[in-house]
Structure 1
Amino acid sequence: MQLRALTTTVALFAVATLATAAGTSPAARPAPAAVTQTVQPRTEPPVLVDCLWHPQVRPTDFMLACGDGNSRLASLHWTRWDAGRARAEGVNWVNDCKPYCAAGHFHAYPVTVRLDRTRPWKKQPQVSHYSRITLTYPAARPEQFGPTVSYPLWD
């Protein structure tokens, strides 16, 4: 009987030692403090939406006249492209449509391109896109254009 009491005491001591070494029981532990996670908004650059509804970033060419292709930007070299604005130098190829567009000739005009007015893109609202383009002609320009022209961009 004394052996049984001794065995029980040793067993209880061993269990108590293991429990202490392992820490307190999960039920006795305090709940962990709530972790607050800050979600950072995506900082992807805005896009320029092309005629086929593809998002473009710093394109080297861009069609301005999607319907007939009579005005396009080429050889674009971007010096700025951020959340507020984009800026490039390039060439605007414009059809003179004389005597009519199918028989007209394309002429190259040096141009400065500015993009601004970023907005969420309707097709992908999590993506921001430029909604206005401004063209500035430092020298020659198409006869029907002013020295600076602005157009809304499609959404």
Structure 2
Amino acid sequence: MRAIAIRTAVTLCLAAALAAAAGAPSSAGPATPASPVAQRQAVPVLVDCLWHTDVRPADFTLACGDGNSRLTSLKWSQWGTETATAEGVNMVNDCKPYCAAGAFHSYPVTVRLSDPKPWKKHPQTERYSRITLVYPGSRPDIYGPTVTYPLWD
């Protein structure tokens, strides 16, 4: 009988503590939303095909629809508030005779991210909005030595 009374008392104390914590007013006063600038991250992020954010990713898919162009082995030398720079490999499917039967080819590439802007999905998050690929040697036939793309929002 005594054990039941102690267990009941402990349960009631825990329930009261939880209720007080849940309903307790903040000592900081009423909640006011911070400005989007104050909430923004220190450095921009890279948004991938699945809407995940990343900083200094090792791999990044450029062709979200079919995966026929992706960056691999990325080694970031700089990731700042305005730009980010990496060396890596661009794996590109030649799609010959068609993409499902094509072969992937590796091309050394310098990657530059730039033009940070607020992300429409989460305006408090800055994301790079432009990617530039520079091919120092061989490159896919249809690419120039430098290619710039807007990144999705």
Number of residue pairs the alignment of both structures matches: 117
Query: Is residue 99 of structure 1 aligned with residue 97 of structure 2?
Result: yes
Counterpart of 1:111 in structure 2 is 109
The AA in structure 2 aligned to 1:61 is: D
Q: Distance in 2 between matches of 1:65 and 1:148?
A: 17
Provide the C-alpha distance between the structure 1 equivalents of 2:97 and 2:86, rounded to a whole number of angstroms: 32
Larger Cα Rg: Structure 1 or Structure 2?
1
Report deviation, 1:43. Answer: 4.7
Partner of 1:85: 83
- Structure 1 residues 141, 69: closer, same or farther in 2, change over 3 A? same
- Alignment of 1:143 onto 2:141: yes
- Larger displacement relative to structure 2 (39-48 or 94-103): 39-48
Unaligned runs of 5+ in 1: 1-38
1:55 aligns with 2:53: yes
Which amino acid is 1:112 matched to?
T
How far does residue 45 in structure 1 lie from its aligned partner after superposition? 1.2
- Aligned pairs for 1:31-50 within 5 A: 41=38, 42-50=40-48
Question: Partner residue of 2:70?
Answer: 72
3-state DSSP of counterpart to 2:100: helix
SS of 2:66 mapped into structure 1: coil
TM-score by length of 2: 0.74
Q: What TM-score do the two structures reach when normalised by structure 1?
A: 0.73
SS in 2 for 1:109: strand
Q: How far apart, in 2, do the equivalents of 1:149 and 1:68 lie?
A: 19
User: Please, what is the CA RMSD of the aligned residues?
Assistant: 1.3
Partners of 1:131 and 1:63 in 2: CA distance: 15
Q: Who is 1:132 aligned against?
A: 130
Matched residues in 2 for 1:47 and 1:68: separation?
A: 23
Gaps of 5+ in 2: 1-34
